[in-house]
Amino acid sequence: QVQLVESGGGLVQAGGSLRLTCSASGLTFSDYAMGWFRQAPGKEREFVAALSGRGDGTYYADSVNGRFTISRDNTKNLVYLYMNSLKPEDTAVYYCAATRVGVAGLAHLYDYWGQGSQVTVSS
């Protein structure tokens, strides 16, 4: 049974930083590209960042490029999202997801999803 569990969300002031962690189990972790998505109240889920199984390919949404960094530790089955220079518009529930397709920005290509972690950025 595949499980993805996010942690590390919380409340931060604008300009601050947070690190989200996603712990994966029940799958051959390095076979999967990992992605982060987010959903704000009243909005559709949107792509944030993705990373290939070996960690050698990344893809970022324009809105976070240069501020967020995705990385992974295949020895620990962990994927991280480092978020810097946070803005109030980054407030959302953040989800990690896994896909065998490769680095992808489309939610329907992902097979497994976590339950989400709330990030709130105050102005």
pLDDT, residue 2, reads 97
User: Residue 122: is it exposed, middle or buried by C-beta count within 10 angstroms (0-12/13-18/19+)?
Assistant: exposed
**16 is written with which tokens?**
């601050």
The pLDDT, as a whole number, for residue 24 is: 98
| 117 three-state secondary structure | strand
Six-digit token string for 20: 């989200």
What count of residues does the chain have?
123
> Tell me, what's the pLDDT at 81?
98
pLDDT of residue 70: 98
Q: Looking at this protein, which amino acid is placed at residue 50?
A: A
DSSP assignments along 20-72, one per residue: EEEEEESS-GGGSEEEEEEE-TTS--EEEEEE-TTS--EEE-TTTBTTEEEEE
Block means of pLDDT (10 residues each) for the chain, 123 residues, are 97 98 98 98 96 96 98 98 98 98 94 98 96
* pLDDT for the residue 105: 94
